[in-house]
Amino acid sequence: MGPSEWVYLNGRICRAEEAVISPFDRGFLFAHAAYEVTAVFDGKLIDFEGHVARLQRTLTGIDILTEWTDEQLEYIHRELIRRNQLTEGFVYFQVSSGAYGNRDFAGPETLVPTVFMFCEARQLIGEKARDGVAAILVEDQRWKRRDFKTTQLVSQALAYRDAARAGATSAILFEDGYVTEAASANLWVVTAEGTLVTRNLGHQILPGITRQSVLARLAESGLAVEERAVSLDEIRNAREIFTTAATSMVLPVVSLDGAPVGTGQPGPITRRVQALYYRAIGANLGMHAPWVTEASAGPHG
C-alpha cells in the first residue's frame, strides 16, 4: 500500500501526479514546516479534534499563522477520504511556511503556507499489534522543541535506520540517563514493580493525541498510571513496554537491544490497554483483535 490517488494542494483536490511544489519552498529548504496525521477506521476520523488543536498549536509555535476553522479542515479531510474511498488508514496534513522564489532564512514578515494533504490505506490493527516488535535504544539527538510536530525528522529517520540495521522495527530514544519517547511514538513502561509509567509532558516529548486518549480510557477503567521520566535501568528491567501513536495505535515492544522484555510476549497490561483503545475507536475485538483475551477486554469485549 502507498499514498492514494487523490491529494489536496493549496486549495484544490487533484491527482497525486499533478501536485507540484516549488523547489524554493521553505519546507524543503529549511524544514520550516509542520504536519499532522489522523487515523481513519471504518471510514471515520479518529481523535480528529485533538489532532487539529495540536496542529494549530504547532503552527503558532513556528510562526505560521492561518485562519482555518476546524470545520473547514474536517471537510477537506472527509472529502479526501471520500474521493479515495478510504476505509482504514491515515490522512496526512503537511503545512510548510511557503515558497518565495529565493533562499532567505527569515523570509517575509507574513508567511503564506503551502498546504498538502494525502491519504494512505493501511491496516491499523495487524500482526505487529498482535505479536509485538523489537526495539533498540538510541541517543536522542532532536531539537529542544519536541512538543511541536514539525517535519524536522532526520534524527528519527536515522534512528529507524539504525533499528533496521540491528534487525529491529523501532527505536526508543534516551538522553541524560532517561528515556524520552520512541522515535515516532509515545512510550509506556510497566516497571519491575508493576507500575505503569509514561513520560510527563514538556518540551522533551510530543504531546501525543493517542497518548491523551489512552490516558482518558485508563482513568475511566481505574488503571493507575504515573507520568514521569523512566530511567534506562527501569526500561531495561521492565515487565512490559508499549508505544502509542496514531499510525500504530497501541504497539507492544517485546524485545529491547536483543533481550526479551518480560516474557518476550505482549503482557496483560498492554493487552488491556489495547482492548480499551480498540473499543473506543469502534473496533469489534472478535473481528479485529481476537488475540486480545476476554480477561483483558473486560465484560464488553
Cell of 140: 536522542
Per the CB < 8 A criterion, the answer to whether 8 and 76 are in contact is yes
Distances (CA, A) of 244 to 33, 73, 99, 249: 23, 24, 34, 5
Cell of 24: 524554493
Per the CB < 8 A criterion, the answer to whether 275 and 297 are in contact is yes
Of 44, 128, 144, 149, which residue is the catalytic one? 149
Is 144 a known active-site residue?
no
- Count Cα neighbours of 69 within 13 Å in the Cβ-side half-sphere: 3
Integer Cα distance of 77 and 100 in angstroms: 27
Ranges of beta strands (E only) in the chain are: 3-9, 12-15, 33-41, 44-45, 88-96, 114-121, 133-139, 170-175, 178-182, 186-190, 196-198, 226-227, 230-231, 240-245, 249-256, 259-260
Per the CB < 8 A criterion, the answer to whether 27 and 64 are in contact is no
Q: Catalytic residues, which ones?
A: 149
